[in-house]
Amino acid sequence: MNDSMRRAAAILLVILGGAALWWTGSGAPASASANDAMVATIAAARERAAANDPRLKPASRFEEGGWIYVHLEGDPGAMGYQHGYLLGPEIEDGFAAVSAGMMHSTERDWEFFRKAAHEMLWPKIDAEYQQELQGIVEGLRARTGSKLDVDDIVAFNAFEELPDYYVPWLNKQQKTANAPNLKSPGNCSAFVATGSWTKNGQIVMAHNNWTSYRNGERWRIVFDIAPKNGYRMLMDGFPGVIASDDDFGINSGGLMVTETTITQFEGWDPKGKAEFVRARKALQYAGSIDEYTKIMLDGNNGGYANDWLLGDRKTGEIAQLELGLRAHKLWRTKDGVLAGSNWARDPKVLKEDAPQFDPANKESSPNARRARWDELLKENKGKIDVALAEKMLGDHSDTAQKKEEANERTLCGHVDGSPRGVKEWDWQPYYPGGAVQGKATDATMAKEMRFMARVGHPCGGDFLAKPFLAAHPEQTWQEPYLRDMKAGPWTEFRSSQTPKE
Ligand SMILES: [Zn+2]
């Protein structure tokens, strides 16, 4: 069956389902419940028709340890359809939470983001990702009857770059009066180590994702992707988004990839290619550090500017790509450790891309965590493995106060416990954000396409929304979206995994 025939068949099924109900109910007086039942029947018919779609055949979904694992396989359109269908309810839920946050912080309406997606981002998206994004819309609509279209999904995919990179740039260009104070985010604590630093001399890589708890509690997808072209990928991710986006992923070409963002980064190139597209493309097509760097630089738009931490398990080499817009730098070594906690270090990147950032302020979240990584990694030189990395991601040592206290300065971030917040990211005191999940792997596991992952704070602590909101009425706008974020167990995931019996 071709696409149009398939669509016609699905529509016919829906009409028949609805007509049958209308016919059986036609003798009785019209009632709200009959109407509800008809809507439900149509929805069920639509889901049945969609579930029989041959594009879904190679795909699967199961849940474990608080994560939702999805296997996507095939050509771009089919993988998109599988993604949209299998994660339909989560995409609608995630879209509502993310779009509310984007509009709240920027004071722009949703139409603004749709327009930016349509006019600025879409024309530069590679054809295969355009097909995948369109597939997501199709699968989502087939599953849930969603009204979201491809402009919504593209704007949503760019949720890390449009509000905090594009909008402040635009406000400056247009000299917008009373523009909100928008700051690029400070997402994540991570490291990659190799050689004499690790227990077995091979690469170890670990990362915890820092975001608002509102978004972070939803960042619990494991994507196992077998694309028609390019390498096999295993990554964590957000429902509806084609890149890992926080980022943590491995590919069958031997690359291990993570990052932390550059605090107080400023800049945007409207002619560039969306970061979420470049990041996904690099994980899919790069088999070496050089190839990765090349893809990330091609059309660099400055969005979601990161310090990329890379490992090539084939050579044991690790690298840090500090990807500013005006400047960038690549460091690489076969014996060393590279850590990240949202600070740039190349003088040129600092000067040209993050001029407000103060590397000397020991009190700030990025610098306090930088000092802690230095301390912790040195203390454990030669002993670093995945089990130890998991513990490090849950570390609560505050180097500024020289004490144990979960706050904005600890590797496992708990900004909701901080009277200071993080002013560099415009996170107010007690902002409900911090480390929302963690992942770790090593070269041996990566070769077998496996990693460990834990939802919630990597230390195992729970965040509870109700008492938090009661204590912090300034965050009431989040109430419809902010949920409990309870930690799960460290759980292993691998490519081609099937659910436990
Ligand atoms: Zn913690």
Q: How far is the CA of 436 from the centre of ligand 1 (A)?
A: 9
Interval 459-473 mean pLDDT: 98
Distance between Cα 407 and ligand 1 center (Å): 8
* Mean local confidence (pLDDT), 34-50: 85
Q: How far is the CA of 393 from the centre of ligand 1 (A)?
A: 8
* Res 75: pLDDT: 98
pLDDT of 9 higher than 90 = no
Cα 102–Cα 105–Cα 110 angle in degrees, nearest 5 = 40
Q: What pLDDT, on the 0 to 100 scale, is given for residue 501?
A: 60
- Least confident range from 42-51, 71-80, 173-182, 475-484: namely 42-51
pTM of the model: 0.92
| For range 452-481, the mean pLDDT | 97
Sign of CA dihedral 213, 487, 394, 258: negative
Report percent pLDDT > 90 for the chain: 88
CA–centroid distance, residue 394 to ligand 1 (Å): 5
Which string of DSSP letters, residue by residue, matches 294-351?
HHHHTTB--TT-EEEEEEETTTTEEEEEEE-SS-EEEEEESSEEEEESS----HHHHH
Q: Residue range 262-267: average pLDDT?
A: 98
Q: Mean pLDDT, to the nearest integer, of 119-135?
A: 98
d(CA 57, CA 292): 32
The pLDDT of residue 77 is above 90: yes
Averaged confidence pLDDT in the chain: 94
Choice between 187 and 212, residue whose per-residue pLDDT is larger: 212
Task: Please identify which residue in the block is written with the tokens 């109910």.
Answer: 25
Give the residue-averaged pLDDT of 403-425. 97
Say if residue 41's pLDDT is above 90.
Answer: no
Whole-number Å distance, alpha carbon 353 to ligand 1 midpoint, is: 31
Position 132 pLDDT exceeds 60: yes
Residue indicated by tokens 């991601």: 393
What Rg do the C-alpha atoms of the chain give, in angstroms? 23
CA of 450 to the centre of ligand 1 (A): 24
Query: Can you tell me the mean pLDDT for 408-412?
Result: 98
pLDDT at position 12: 45
Peptide bond into 416 cis (omega under 30): no
Å from CA of 233 to ligand 1 middle: 29
Percent of the chain's residues with pLDDT above 70: 94
Q: What is the mean pLDDT of residues 407-429?
A: 97
Say yes or no to pLDDT of 23 above 50. Answer: no
User: How far away, in angstroms, is 238 Cα from ligand 1 center?
Assistant: 21
Tell me the CA–centroid distance for residue 356 and ligand 1, in Å: 28
Going from the Cα of 435 to the center of ligand 1, the distance in angstroms, rounded, reads: 7
Instruction: Evaluate if residue 376 carries a pLDDT over 90.
Output: yes
| Buried residues in 230-266 as b, exposed as e (16+ CB within 10 A) | bbbbbbbbbbbbbbbbbbbbbbbbbbbbbbbbbbbbb
**CA 361 to ligand 1 centroid distance, Å:** 23
Distance CA(440)–CA(208), nearest Å, equals: 9
Measure 20 CA to ligand 1 centroid, in angstroms: 55
> Can you give the pLDDT at residue 363?
97
